[in-house]
């Protein structure tokens, strides 16, 4: 595995851990409990699916896993926005974690686009 992929694996794991820590501060209201669970699920899902993408057996599998990692990172971004916009939580950590969710989603989106283009080129070359 290349250095860049290893660095992104570490970054997604750190993101998941940061979300877990941040979620501990979410108020125990009905909305807070729902967001808490969904946020942790999405952030850990982004990290897990990126790791799975790194172990893909084919380009098609990589593209599919990156799409799921992208969906999870984007969903985590939504839950973080709801915490901020719903004024359930206000902290510098929330802002930093929200920024990281956005950055990871952008990285996953670009990586998926690059992989799709590569997959198309390989299919064209094979025919």
Could you tell me the domains of the chain? 3-126 (1.20.1440.60)
3-state secondary structure of 37: helix
Residues of the chain with pLDDT > 70, as a percent, come to 98
Cβ burial, residue 23 (10 Å; 0-12/13-18/19+): buried
CA distances, 119 to each of 48, 68, 116, 122 (Å): 23, 17, 5, 5
What pLDDT score was predicted for residue 120? 83
Task: Kindly state the DSSP code that residue 81 receives in the 8-state scheme.
Answer: H
**Does residue 124 have a pLDDT over 90?**
no
Q: What is the pLDDT of residues 17-55, one digit of tens each?
A: 999 999 999 999 999 999 999 999 999 999 999 999 999
What is the percentage of the chain residues whose pLDDT exceeds 90?
89
Who contacts 72 (Cβ-Cβ below 8 Å, separation ≥6)? 42, 43, 45, 46, 49
**pTM (two decimals):** 0.91
């Amino acid at each position: 595995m290349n250095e860049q992929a290893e660095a992104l694996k570490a970054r997604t794991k750190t993101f998941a851990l940061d979300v877990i820590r941040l979620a501990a501060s979410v108020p125990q209201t009905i909305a807070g409990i729902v967001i808490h669970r969904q946020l942790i699920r999405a952030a850990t899902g982004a990290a897990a699916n990126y790791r799975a993408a790194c172990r893909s057996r084919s380009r098609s599998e990589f593209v599919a896993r990156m799409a799921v990692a992208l969906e999870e990172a984007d969903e985590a971004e939504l839950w973080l926005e709801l915490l901020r916009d719903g004024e359930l939580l206000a902290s510098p950590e929330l802002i930093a974690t929200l920024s990281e969710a956005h950055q990871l989603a952008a990285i996953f989106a670009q990586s998926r686009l690059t992989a799709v283009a590569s997959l198309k080129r390989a299919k064209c070359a094979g025919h």
